[in-house]
C-alpha cells in the first residue's frame, strides 16, 4: 500500500520528486484524469507502471513535462502546426505525438519512432514536475492511473481504489481534488502533413483547425471500426476500454433497478437510480467517470446513459462511451 498525500506543500512535492528519481511511482492529479507517474528515463520504474496497470508492454506512454523548454530533449522534429498547437493549448488537455529523440526509448514509445508529450494544466502536476526537473529529471511517463481497460480515475480516492493493492509502501498518491476536465487528453498525431486526432478530448477538432488553419483528419466524425488508425497503437482505441463492471447501455429506455446518467433536463425514469445530473456537456465530462464508479459501488448490474448530442466535447464523451458500452459497435 502506498502513502496518500493531501494538502501537498512544496516540500511534499520535492519529496515526491525525489521518490520518482529513486524509481518509485507517484500518482498525481492532472486536469484530465489522474496519472500514474514514473521517471521516463528509468526502464525499471517504467516497467512497474505496466505491472501495476496490468497493461500490455507494447502500448506507448505519454511523457509529461512542465515547460515547452523541455520539449527538445524528447523529440527530433516538430512541424510548424504542432508549434502553433503547443503555444496555444499547453499547459492543457492535449498530447502531441512527434518524432522521438534518442532519449525516448522503446520502453516509453512501445518501439515506435514517435513519442507522445503533454504539459498538463494542474498546479500540483506542474509543481511536481518543476521539482523533478530541478533534480535533473527530464520527464514523467504517466498513463491514466487505472487498471488496463478500466475507468480512468478523476479523484485520488479512485486511484487508491484501482491501484492501492498493487503499489509499494514507497510509492505515493498525491491528492489534488477532482480533475476539472474529467476525460483524457486529445491526442494529435503531428508526424504527417496534417494534424490527425487519434483520441478526441477537450481540445476539439474545431479548435485545432482554427489554430492551425489546416483541415484536420475527420477520423472522428466517421467513428467506425475501419476508420481507426492501424499503424499507430493507441490503447484507448481498443474496444471495451473505459469500462465499469456494470453493463453500459446507450440511448435506450432504462429498465427498473438500473443506474441512469443524463443531462439535467432529462427526467429520471421510474425505478432507476440517478447517478449524475450534469447541467452542461462540460459537467457531463467532469462527472462521468465518478458516476460510473458510483454505479459499481452500488453494485448496479446495468447503467443506462443518455448521451449528449452535438460536436465539441460531446464527441469525446460519445467516443469513450461507445467503448465502455455493451450495446453498440461490438
Ligand atoms: O489525459 C491524459 O492523456 C492522461 C493524463 C494522465 O495525462 N494520460 C493518459 O495516458 O490517458 P494513457 O496511457 O492512459 O493513454 C495514452 C494513450 C494510449 O492509448 C497510448 O497508446 C497513446 O496515448 N500514445 C502514447 N504515446 C503514443 C504514440 N507515440 N503514438 C500513438 N499513441 C500514443
Ligand atoms: Mg488510459
- SS3 call for 212: helix
Query: Taking CB atoms and a 6 Å cutoff, what residues make up the pocket around ligand 1?
Result: 30, 32-33, 35, 59-62, 95, 97, 109, 112, 114-116, 118, 120, 142-144, 184-185, 187, 198, 232-236
Between 2 and 277, the more confident residue is 277
Q: Which protein residue has the closest C-alpha to ligand 1 atom 15?
A: 143
How does strand 273-276 pair with strand 75-77?
unpaired
pLDDT at residue 57 in the model: 85
Which ligand is closest in space to the CA of residue 29?
1
Q: Tell me the best of 50, 112, 143 to mutate to test the pocket of ligand 1, counting ligand atoms within 8 Å of each CB and taking the most.
A: 143
Average pLDDT over residues 101-129: 97
For residue 320, report the distance from its CA to the centre of ligand 2, in Å.
Answer: 11
Ligand nearest to the CA of 61: 1
pLDDT in tens, 230-251: 444 454 555 567 789 999 999 9
> Average pLDDT for residues 206-213, to the nearest whole number?
97
Q: Which ligand 1 atom minimizes the distance to the CA of 183?
A: 1
pLDDT value of residue 224: 43
- CB atoms closer than 10 angstroms to residue 44: 10
- The residues, any chain, with a CB within 8 Å of residue 210's CB and separated by 6 or more, are none
CA of 142 to the centre of ligand 2 (A): 9
Distance CA 45, CA 64 (A): 15
**Ligand 1: which of 31, 107, 187 to mutate, judged by most atoms within 8 Å of the beta carbon?**
187
Here the cell at position 263 is: 443531462
Residues 145-174 have a mean pLDDT of: 97
Using the predicted structure, report yes or no on whether residue 330 has a pLDDT greater than 80.
no
Which mutation among 117, 184, 228, 323 tests ligand 1's pocket best, with the greatest number of atoms within 8 A of CB?
184
Strand partners, 302: 247
- Ligand 1 atom showing the smallest separation from residue 115 Cα: 29
For the CA of 108, the closest atom of ligand 1 is 26
Question: Which percentage of the chain shows pLDDT scores above 70?
Answer: 92
**pLDDT at residue 228 in the model:** 44
Give the pLDDT score at 238.
53
- Per-residue pLDDT band for 172 (boundaries 50, 70, 90) equals very high
Q: Average pLDDT over the chain, rounded to whole?
A: 92
- The atom number, within ligand 1, closest to the CA of 235 reads 19
Render pLDDT for 20-74 as a digit per residue (tens, 0 to 9). Answer: 999 999 999 999 999 999 999 999 999 999 999 999 988 999 999 999 999 999 9
* Nearest ligand for residue 199 CA: 1
How confident is the model at residue 289, as a pLDDT? Answer: 98
Instruction: For residue 204, report the distance from its CA to the centre of ligand 2, in Å.
Output: 19
Radius of gyration from C-alpha coordinates of the chain:
19
Residue 38 Cα to ligand 1 midpoint, Å, equals 14
DSSP 181: S
pLDDT score of 160: 97
**Can you spell out the DSSP letters for 29-61?**
--SSS-EEEEETT-HHHHHHHHHHHT--TTS--
Listed residue (222, 219, 225) closest to 199, CA to CA: 219
Q: Are strands 302-305 and 247-250 parallel, antiparallel or unpaired?
A: parallel
Residue 195 and residue 189 in contact, taking contact as beta carbons nearer than 8 Å: yes
Q: Mean pLDDT across the stretch 177-186?
A: 98
- Report which ligand 1 atom has the smallest distance to the Cα of 187: 23
Q: What is the mean pLDDT of residues 171-188?
A: 97
Task: Give the Å distances, CA to CA, from 48 to 39, 237, 302.
Answer: 11, 23, 33
For residue 191, which ligand has an atom nearest its CA?
A: 1
d(CA 181, CA 249): 23
281: pLDDT confidence band, cut at 50, 70 and 90? Answer: very high
Among all chains, which residue has been given the C-alpha cell 476508420?
A: 227
pLDDT digits over 71-114, tens only?
A: 999 999 999 999 999 999 999 999 999 999 999 999 999 999 99
Is 234 in contact with 199 (CB distance < 8 Å)? yes
Please tell me the predicted confidence (pLDDT) of residue 240. Answer: 63
**pLDDT value at residue 236:** 53
What's the full length of the chain, in residues? 330
CA 315 to chain centre: 15
pTM: 0.94
* SS3 category, 166: helix
Q: CB-side exposure of 185: number of CA atoms within 13 Å?
A: 31
Residue 226 pLDDT > 60, yes or no?
A: no
The fraction of the chain above a pLDDT of 90, given in percent, is 85
Amino acid at each position: 500500500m502506498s502513502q496518500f498525500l493531501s494538502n501537498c506543500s512544496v516540500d511534499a512535492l520535492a519529496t515526491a520528486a525525489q521518490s520518482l528519481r529513486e524509481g518509485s511511482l507517484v500518482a498525481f492529479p492532472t486536469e484530465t484524469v489522474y496519472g500514474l507517474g514514473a521517471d521516463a528515463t528509468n526502464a525499471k520504474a517504467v516497467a512497474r507502471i505496466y505491472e501495476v496497470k496490468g497493461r500490455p508492454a507494447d502500448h506507448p506512454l505519454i511523457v509529461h513535462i512542465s515547460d515547452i523548454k523541455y520539449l527538445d530533449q524528447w523529440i527530433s522534429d516538430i512541424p510548424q502546426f504542432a508549434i502553433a498547437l503547443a503555444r496555444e493549448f499547453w499547459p492543457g488537455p492535449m498530447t502531441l505525438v512527434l518524432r522521438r529523440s534518442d532519449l525516448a526509448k522503446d520502453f516509453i514509445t512501445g518501439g515506435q519512432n514517435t513519442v507522445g508529450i503533454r504539459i498538463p494544466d494542474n498546479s500540483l502536476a506542474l509543481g511536481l514536475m518543476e521539482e523533478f526537473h530541478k533534480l535533473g529529471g527530464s520527464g514523467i511517463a504517466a498513463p491514466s492511473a487505472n487498471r488496463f481497460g478500466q475507468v480512468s480515475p478523476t479523484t485520488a480516492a479512485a486511484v487508491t481504489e484501482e491501484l492501492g493493492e498493487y503499489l509499494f509502501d514507497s510509492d505515493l498518491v498525491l491528492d489534488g481534488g477532482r480533475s476539472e476536465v474529467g476525460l483524457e487528453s486529445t491526442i494529435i498525431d503531428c508526424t504527417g502533413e496534417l494534424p490527425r486526432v487519434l483520441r478526441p478530448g477537450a481540445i476539439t477538432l474545431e479548435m485545432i483547425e482554427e489554430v492551425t488553419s489546416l483541415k484536420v483528419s475527420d477520423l472522428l466524425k466517421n467513428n467506425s471500426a475501419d476508420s481507426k488508425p492501424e499503424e499507430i497503437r493507441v490503447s484507448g482505441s481498443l474496444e471495451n476500454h473505459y469500462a465499469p463492471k456494470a453493463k453500459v447501455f446507450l440511448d435506450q429506455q432504462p429498465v427498473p433497478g438500473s443506474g441512469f446518467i443524463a443531462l439535467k433536463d432529462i427526467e429520471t425514469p421510474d425505478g432507476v437510480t440517478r447517478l449524475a445530473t450534469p447541467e452542461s456537456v462540460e459537467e457531463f465530462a467532469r462527472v462521468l467517470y465518478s458516476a460510473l464508479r458510483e454505479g459499481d459501488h452500488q453494485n448496479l448490474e446495468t447503467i443506462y446513459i443518455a448521451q449528449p448530442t452535438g460536436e465539441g466535447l460531446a464527441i469525446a464523451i460519445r467516443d469513450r462511451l461507445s467503448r465502455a458500452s455493451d450495446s453498440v459497435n461490438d
